[in-house]
Structure formats: structure tokens, C-alpha cells
Structure 1
């Protein structure tokens, strides 16, 4: 646990003064702290930093952007706080939101604090190996059902009518991720990115559904409870969430099954394992669970590949400017071209 001073050169550590400032905000929000906060940086994640906070009795989770190498809208802890607050009584499993601080003078960055949700996180292939086949089958079914449940929430009824524009979602996503590429993309790969981007702009997206889009849905962005029966205890990592076309959310979940995700994450990830259903199998299970009709499926898959390629480029960009901490960031660059090529290939397949 940290709590006294940041090590020299470690921009991820929280200082004693920062933890005390966080504690003041938590107390003002109604949290009863038994003692000074201690923090531990939780491994994993390629965007926001995630810490476990403890006071000797209770635990919470703090999320904040990296201190350097930030790109616009890519580390939005405010979005995460607002959507989990709105979903608290919806039946969709989320961590209880506690504090949102957008005043960067407090610790130098915006941050959000939520209650700690006990359970299992399945991130790596080794984590997945701890689940037998029957448990994994049940977990996968609950994951898909939870996504379908999210897409069934009336975003207006839960107070998210201004959380995002409901129309022209795909077109706005193409514009957004094209803009991100301009900030972080490697010049040598720009012709390939431009090719896929141009094909996407020339595609037709017939949006027939509107709902809450998580934007980053897969097994390692959930907390699981395995006893007495497997269930999703909380969906986490909401910083890419918005209002839009749920089909894109399902497509992104399936795109993450591509082996290049291992390069993006820097390790053998659980979600790329061949023990899990194929992308087609996941899509079929989602529809069977009551999800929306998967209109323009190939176009949305291609958009998902484009998005993940830009995310990989962003990770590489932060790695090159020294804004990342820990191991596993140096392989993201290798994922960019295969993902762009996969997106082009989907759009070139005969109907």
C-alpha cells in the first residue's frame, strides 16, 4: 500500500496529501472513514488508473486518468460516475458511485470513487483456467444476458437523456476515432487507417435501436460472483459509454475475440481463449437473450476493428512518451495493422 509519498519518477503513485484530499471528499459524500486512506494501484487497464483504497475497515475503488499522455475524451471518469449513478436501481449490476471530483486542483486530475464490489476478475488466460467448463459456460451466458439487459434500459427514464446523441451513432464514432488517429496514429500506418476509415464513411448504417452503449464490454471489464451460482456482480470501465446503437456494443464485444487483443493488453487475455464462443456464437447468444436485432452487422464489426486499432495506437503513443507504467505496453503497436486489415476484410466479404 502507498500513502506517504510517491516514489521518484513514479507518476502513478498517490501521495499522502492526495489521499488526505480524497478522504475529505469521501467524508463530505457521507463515507465514514475508520482511519487514513491507503492505496494500491490495481494491475490491468490501458486507459484510466485504478486504485484500491482502504481505511483499515472498508474498501473503495478510485479511478483517474494517467498524469501525462492524456488524449481528449479517452479517460472520462465523469462519464463513468454519471452512468453508474443512473443505473444504480436499474437492475444492471454496477458499483455504487460515491464521489466525482472534477476540480483538478484537488489532486491534479479529476477522479471518481465507488464502493468496492467483492468478486472475481477474469483477465488473463491463467485466470480463465481456474474456471471449469460448466462454470465458464454459465459465466458467458450471464455476460451476454447482462449486456442485453443494459441495452433494454430506457436511458431517458433513468435520467440519461443528455448523456449522448441517440442518432447517427456510427457516423459520429467514425468521426471520433478518425480524430483520435490524427492525434496518436503512426504515420507509416496512416494509409491503412485512411483506407478503412474511407470504407466506413462510404458504408450505410441503418440505426434501428437506441440504448446505453458500454463501449468496452468483455469478461475482464466485469466483476464476477461465482457462488452460489455464477453471475455478473458489476460491470466496470464505463469511460467509453454513451447513448447510441446497441449493435455497435455487441460488435465490439465480438471484435475483442480477435487474437490481436493480446497484443493490445500485452498478455494472453481471457477473452481471446478458444474456450469461449466464437464471435458468431456470442452474437447468436445475445439475440437469444433478448438483445436488439443485429442490423448492419458487418459494418459494425468493421467499425469495431477500427476503434480497437485506434485504441492500440493510443496505448503505443502513451508508451512512446513515457506515460505508461508497468509491463506489457510495448506490444500494442503490433496490433494496429492486423486490426485495420481485419476491418477492411469484413467490408470486402461478399454479402
Structure 2
């Protein structure tokens, strides 16, 4: 079987056997798990053990944006909590092994619901239950005491929102080579209206339904894709989840949106999600407007980075065509949320 681009299965198998001889019983077969537009994710098996391997994307990689050790550390720390995460197996920070850092985790059964058509097959009631559990999972994450699980130094909650604005401005500068109408106005609004920092929690940084695995009993079995995780304002996670919910109505018709799952009948509405989160967490969510503007800004920058890498021929997989056309509508949505 031919190795997928970006992963030498023989090297990974040899390295993992050195870390834990019982973890490997034969040669690895691997395939790229489609749908990932950022870090590359592979299913790997030797016929006895089923693993998932994560590594940064090929080519243009922003500093700190694809931190394998960070993902590994937060999931390992959350293992004893109520937040469902895969069991971590091993972390390799030596770029000489496969050309980039990577980590190995156990494969977890479940479906990442990214498309409305997937949820429509389940029906409205099950979709409603699944999205309710999505919100409850976010509440559970934000209730974890980061100090008790060894993540006291995982980030700096004070000033988090201001640093987010600065960070994503830098990401934008590193990931675009074209004029983006309305972006200067959106950035100016964010710069001028940074709210006071709320109580710090672990934040996922990219929380949405297709970053969760859901089993046949409609239970959340794992939260994945922790590359943006840190300590910060929990409302940033809520706002980004809501921005993804609005995404299908924001971008041009026919665009290859990251997810259109929120368009499925039964998916909790925006107000229902806010109310359920507020009730479960006990937090004040009245300042959600600024956070939503920042969320659209983040999405615009993330997709602009993907568009940039795709234009340079440095993406792996399909579904990248048309992403560049989605950026300005996201900027417009961020400006609208600010009003």
C-alpha cells in the first residue's frame, strides 16, 4: 500500500516501536482522513492496533499555529475529566523523524457530522439531542479547573482577547498577498473595542460539531483538533461555534463551506444555544457581539491561510477550490456583528 503524502508509515512504525514495543505488531497501513484543511490527520493500523497520527500541514506553516505538543498536552491533561478525548499514545517533537513533529493517539469510534445531509438522515429529534450535547460538552470543558489537571501554565487568561486580536492580525499579515475589502475596518473595530477579560478557562479555539465524534447512541465520544487551545475567555468558544452556525448563510451559494451541519432541521438555533450554554455554565453572555465579530475575523484569517497555501500548491486532499471567495463575506459578517 502506498504511503499517503506527508507520512512515512515505516518510519512511524519503527519510531513507535522504540517508544513502546507493545504498541506495534506489524507494518502500518495508512490513509489520509479527508476533511482536514489544517493539520494533517491519518488513520493508521497494523491490523491489531488502530491509531490516528497528526502532523502539521505541508509547506507554509505559521509559527505556533500547528503545535503538536500543545494538542497532545491538553488532551492528555483532560483524560481524567468529563471532557471526552482520545487516549494519547506518543509524541514526537524530533523533526528529523518524518520531517515535522507528530503525535499518535488511539482511534475513537464516532462520526464527525460536518454535513446537513448526514444529520437529516438521523431526523430532527436526534439532531436536536446531538447539538444539545455539543453545547453541554463545551460547558463541561469550560468547567474544568485547569490548575487541577496540570494546565496552570497553558496560557495567560488576563488580556487574552487583546492578544487574540494581535495574534490574528499577525496571522493575516503572514497569510495573505491580496487586498481584502472591509478588513481594515473590521480590524479597527476590534482594536478599539476589546472588552475586559472574563474568568479564564481552557478554551478549545475551534469548537464546532464536526470537531466532535458522536457515536450511534448520539453521545459525544471525543473532542478533536485542539491546535488552537489555550487558557482564555470561554465566550470566544461560544462565539466561534455560533459563527460556524451562521457560515452557511454568509458565504456565496455553492461555496465549499467548512460545515453546513447547522442548516439541518432540528439543529439548535442561535438563541437556544446561547440560552443552553448560559444555563449550564452560569456565565453572563451579554457581550457576545464583540466575540462574534472576532470569531468571524478568525475564520476569515484561517480560510485566507488555507487559500494562500492552496494557491502555492501546498495543500493535501480535496475541497479547497472556492475557499478564497468566502473571505470577504466573512469580513462583512464580522462588521455586521459589531453593529
Band the TM-score falls in, shorter-chain normalisation: over 0.9
- Distance in 2 between the 1:310 and 1:117 partners? 30
Establish whether residue 237 from structure 1 lines up as the match of residue 225 from structure 2. yes
Deviations 1:261-309 (A, max 9, x none): 7999825734341522232221112112235321421110100010000
Contact 2:119 2:264 in 1 (8 A): no
How many equivalent residue pairs? 336
Is 1:182 matched with 2:173? yes
CA distance in 2, matches of 1:261, 1:102: 38
Structure 1 residues 1-351: aligned runs within 5 Å: 2-3=2-3, 12-25=5-18, 28-29=19-20, 31-189=22-180, 192-227=182-217, 230-257=218-245, 258-259=247-248, 260=250, 266-267=256-257, 269-275=259-265, 276-290=267-281, 292-348=283-339
Structure-1 separation of matches of 2:121 and 2:337? 34
Is the 1:21–1:106 contact (alpha carbons within 8 Å) kept by the matching residues of 2? Answer: no
What is the alpha-carbon distance in structure 2 between the residues aligned to residue 112 and residue 265 of structure 1? 32
Please give the alpha-carbon distance, in whole angstroms, between the structure 1 residues aligned to 2:132 and 2:115: 19
CA distance in 1, matches of 2:187, 2:318: 31
Alignment TM-score, normalising by the size of structure 1: 0.90
Per-residue Cα deviation, 1:78-137 (whole angstroms, up to 9, x for no partner): 111000000000111001111111110011100011111112221223322221111111
Distance 2:115 2:151 in 1: 33
Whether the 8 Å CA contact 1:264–1:335 is kept in 2: the answer is: no
CA distance in 2, matches of 1:263, 1:49: 27
8 Å CA contact retained: 2:6, 2:58: no
Residues 262 and 341 of structure 1, relative CA distance in 2, 3 Å threshold: closer
SS of the residue corresponding to residue 59 of structure 2 reads coil
> Quick check: 278-287 or 313-322, which moved more?
278-287
Over the aligned positions, Cα root-mean-square deviation in angstroms equals 2.0
Q: Do the aligned partners of residues 178 and 264 (structure 1) sit closer, same or farther apart at CA in structure 2, a change above 3 Å counting?
A: farther
| Residue in structure 2 matched with residue 9 of structure 1 by the alignment | none
Find the residue that maps to 1:103 and give its secondary structure.
coil
TM-score by length of 2: 0.93
2:117–2:261 CA contact under 8 A, matched in 1 = no
CA contact (8 A) 2:116 2:263 kept: yes
Q: Is the 8 A contact 1:264 1:312 kept in 2?
A: no
Shift of 1:24: 3.0
Q: CA offset at residue 77 of structure 1?
A: 1.8
Residues 88, 291 of structure 1: CA spacing in aligned structure 2 closer, same or farther, 3 A cutoff? Answer: farther
